[in-house]
Amino acid sequence: MIDISSLTKSYSGFRALDALTLHIPDGQLFCFLGPNGAGKTTTIKILTGLVHPDAGTAAIQGMDVQNNATEVKKIIGYIPDTPFLYERLTTSEFFLFYGELYDLPSQQIITERNRLFGIFGLDSHRNALVRNLSHGLRQRLIYATTFLHNPPVLLIDEPFVGLDPYTIKLIKSMLQEHTRKGGTILLTTHILAIAEDIADRIGIIHEGQMVADGTLATLQADHQGANLEDIFLQLTHAGKRENAHVNA
């Protein structure tokens, strides 16, 4: 469960978040849409503790992310758009390190490694150094490690960049399985089809404010049955820019 209340953040006069309020219950995959610089990544960074808000509160499973930082970090899994990996570790060593960070028993780490490496097609790369992996394999590794400690809350920034169709399908099904088991997911993406495909609920953020929030069906109903792309363009004023460009 994620609770955000009146969250505000400015960067040198630029307001990235403007009193954003949001509640994501357990068992829901919430998809955050918005143009570049709308405040999606800032929201996720505040939830992870990487950025301190100017005002407002953010809580995960009822715990304030600023006041209970260490406890919150134990129950979240965060996948940034360009994840940091230790280049000089092998994939197995990185997995082991990740498990030990979360104080998991060695046997569980080994069992989960065998299972997740099998699922993500990393078996043949167990002893490969991370620095020698392709972008897609790195992404698969970060997903495998994030699922290791089975966090109830997942925060994912642009989850499908550089992945092949097989891995995208695999991850989509794993995320849906996660929410079926009661997990909460906050996911940002620019690919509207992904949001249409897997989101239980969609939020559109523009200039730091939530301008639409609901299921795909309710959003369409509110906008005379328009498709998600038209709704997005209409709400973020990008449609005006697009039209201006076409007219020019």
Partner 1 sequence: MSTHNAIWKKTFFQVGNALRAMLRQSRLKQGFILLFIVIFEAFLLFLFRDGFRFLSAFGGAGVIITGRIFALFFLGLAWMLLLSSLVSSYATFFGSPEIPFLLVRPFSMQQIVLYSFIKATTLSSWAFFFIVLPFVGAYAWHQALHPLFILWTFLFSIPFLFLCSSLGALFVLMMVRWLPKPGKVRIFIMGSLVLGALFFLTMRSSPNDIDEMQFNLATIIPGMRLAVHPLSPGYWMSEGIMTLTRGHMQRGLLYLALLSASAATASIMVEQIGGKIFYAAWQRVRAAGPTRRKPIMFPKLLHIRKLLPADMAAIMAKDIRIFFRDPAQWTQALIFFGLLGLYFSNLRVFHYDQLPEQWRSAMTFLNVFAVSAVLSSLGARFIYPQLSYEGHSFWMLGLSPTSMPRIVAAKFLLAVITTSLVSLSLIFMATRMLDLETQIQQAALALIAAVCLAVCGLSTGLGAIFVNLDEHNPAAIVSSFGGTLNIVLCLCFMLAAILPFGTIFHIQQISLTTNPGIMRFLPLAYLWLILITLLATIPPLWLGYRSLMKRDF
Residues found near partner 1 in the complex (CB under 8 A): 11-14, 16, 45, 48-52, 70-71, 73-74, 76, 78, 80, 83-84, 86, 88-90, 93, 96-97, 100-103, 106, 129
Kindly calculate the radius of gyration of the chain based on its CA atoms and give it in whole angstroms. Answer: 19
**Element (H or E) spanning 108, and its range?**
helix 106-119
* Smallest separation, CB 238 to partner 1 (Å): 22
What's the closest the beta carbon of residue 4 comes to partner 1, in angstroms? Answer: 17
Minimum distance from residue 50 beta carbon to partner 1 (Å): 6
The answer to whether 145 and 95 are in contact (CB under 8 A) is yes
Nearer to partner 1, 92 or 234 (CB): 92
- Coil, helix or strand at residue 120: coil
Pick between residue 49 and residue 239 the one whose CB is nearest to partner 1: 49
Residue 231 CB, nearest approach to partner 1 (Å): 29
Partners of 2 in the beta sheet? 24, 60
**Which residue in the block uniquely carries the two structure tokens 């897609």?**
136
Rounded to the nearest angstrom, the gap between the alpha carbon of residue 212 and the centroid of all alpha carbons in its chain is 19
Closer residue to partner 1 (CB): 88 or 240? 88
Looking up tokens 């328009």 gives 226
Q: How many CA atoms lie within 13 A of 103 on its CB side?
A: 4
Q: Which two tokens stand for residue 28?
A: 């829901």
Of 86 and 166, nearer to partner 1 (C-beta) is 86
- Least distance from partner 1 to the Cβ atom of residue 22, Å: 20
Q: Which residue number, 18 or 213, has a Cβ lying nearer to partner 1?
A: 18
